[in-house]
Every structure is written in structure tokens, then in C-alpha cells.
């Protein structure tokens, strides 16, 4: 099974995903990757490869413009903050379980305000609530 390809900010986005998205196709794809994959009973073993551009989540996004995002500059800034916080570089490979452990040790409540600055989903509070839940897991 090939690894799931993630750009840096999609680690925390996947943790916070609650069935909402930019379009029906995007939401269906995100559900397949996150709910049916990462959150499945064996999901922690799923291998993820870090990429520095469009990834498996971006594929059906209506904001995609060829190999770029409609908001490319903003996304690159968000990716850079997430990559630094989670110590990720393109080419890194880790399991979803390892990614969750890294999120737990590297991101604290309130950090998303800085890490996700400019993200339209931030104001919904879904990711902050998911982060709190992750931090409470044993």
C-alpha cells in the first residue's frame, strides 16, 4: 500500500476533520482518507509521506489550480509554520500513530491561533477541540 501523501498542515487538519469541506468531492475524499483510513481500527499504522506541495487531500479541492492552490502564498505560510512545529520535511515518512504522538508533544492548546493563522476553518473551533481531545488521550 503506498503511503498517504500529506503537506504539513494536513496533519492537524486531519485530526480536526468533522465532515465539512470545500465541496462535496473534497469532503468525500477527506472522509475516505481520514475517517475510513486514519481513524479506522488499524489507522495508526497508516504510513504518511510528507510532501511540499499538493497532496492526496488536495486532489479534488475546488481551490486547486493545476499544481498550485488558489491561495498558494497563504498555504505555503501555514505549511511552513506546521512543518516547523511538527519537525516535518518533505520526504519524511511516519505512521499516523507517530504523527499523533508528535502533535501531542509539539502542539499545545492555543497554538493553533498562530499555526493556522489565515485558515478559514480556524474560527469554527473544530481543530482546537480535536487537539484538546488528542491531548487527553492516553
Quote the domain boundaries for residue 102: 4-136
Domain count, the chain: 1
For the stretch 89-131, pLDDT in tens is 999 999 999 999 999 999 998 999 999 999 888 888 889 999 9
Instruction: Give dist(CA 73, CA 63) in Å, integer.
Output: 13
Tell me, what's the pLDDT at 62? 76
Beta-carbon contacts of residue 75 (< 8 Å; ≥ 6 apart): 7, 9, 69
Beta-carbon contacts of residue 76 (< 8 Å; ≥ 6 apart): none
For the stretch 46-76, pLDDT in tens is 999 999 999 999 888 878 888 878 888 999 9
In terms of C-beta density within 10 A (0-12 exposed, 13-18 middle, 19 or more buried), how is residue 79 classed?
buried
Beta-carbon contacts of residue 123 (< 8 Å; ≥ 6 apart): none
More confident residue, 126 or 39: 39
Amino acid at each position: 500500500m503506498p503511503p498517504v501523501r500529506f503537506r504539513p498542515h494536513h496533519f492537524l487538519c486531519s485530526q480536526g476533520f468533522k465532515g465539512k469541506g470545500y465541496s462535496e468531492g473534497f469532503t468525500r475524499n477527506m472522509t475516505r482518507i481520514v475517517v475510513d483510513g486514519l481513524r479506522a481500527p488499524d489507522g495508526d499504522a497508516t504510513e504518511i509521506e510528507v510532501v511540499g506541495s499538493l497532496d492526496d487531500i488536495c486532489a479534488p479541492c475546488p481551490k486547486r489550480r493545476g499544481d498550485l492552490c488558489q491561495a498558494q502564498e497563504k498555504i505555503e505560510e501555514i505549511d511552513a509554520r506546521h512543518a516547523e512545529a511538527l519537525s516535518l520535511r518533505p520526504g519524511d515518512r511516519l505512521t499516523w500513530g507517530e504523527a499523533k504522538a508528535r502533535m501531542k508533544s509539539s502542539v499545545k492548546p492555543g497554538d493553533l491561533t498562530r499555526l493556522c493563522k489565515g485558515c478559514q476553518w480556524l474560527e469554527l473551533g473544530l481543530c482546537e477541540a480535536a487537539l484538546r481531545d488528542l491531548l487527553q488521550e492516553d
